[in-house]
């Protein structure tokens, strides 16, 4: 069964990017290496600070849109509740 992930990447200055993917490890690696031009490359969003998974692609898309619709202050509060130190959650599985 396929798995889909909603995730939040951050820069060192806490610029935030929210995305959705079906391959979290590959997508985080792409953000960290800057292999794809765009927001995360431009703003240095290389730290995975949050993710959640689901087998329902529609639920993942809906959740991504929900988080993207939040005010920045709500996104920061959410991250700090889930990951108070803004630790890189990919550090153990991406070399």
- Gap between the Cα atoms of 62 and 34, Å rounded: 26
Q: Where are the domains of the chain?
A: 4-82
- CATH code that applies to domain 4-82: 3.40.1440.10
Name the residue with tokens 């991406």.
Answer: 94
What pLDDT, on the 0 to 100 scale, is given for residue 92? 84
Q: How confident is the model at residue 29 (pLDDT cuts 50, 70, 90)?
A: very high
Contact 45, 10 (CB under 8 A): yes
Tell me: pLDDT of 36 over 90. no
Parallel, antiparallel, or unpaired for β 4-10 and 47-54?
antiparallel
- Gap between the Cα atoms of 52 and 40, Å rounded: 19
- pLDDT > 70 fraction of the chain, expressed in percent and rounded: 98
């Amino acid at each position: 069964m396929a798995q889909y992930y909603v995730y939040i990447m951050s820069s060192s200055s806490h610029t935030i990017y929210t995305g959705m993917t079906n391959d979290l490890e590959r997508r985080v690696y792409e953000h960290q290496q800057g292999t794809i031009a765009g927001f995360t490359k431009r703003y240095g969003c290389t730290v995975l600070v949050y993710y959640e998974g689901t087998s329902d692609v529609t639920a993942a898309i809906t959740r991504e849109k929900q988080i993207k619709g939040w005010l920045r202050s709500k996104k920061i509060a959410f991250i700090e509740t889930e990951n108070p130190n803004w630790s890189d959650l990919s550090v153990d599985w991406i070399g």
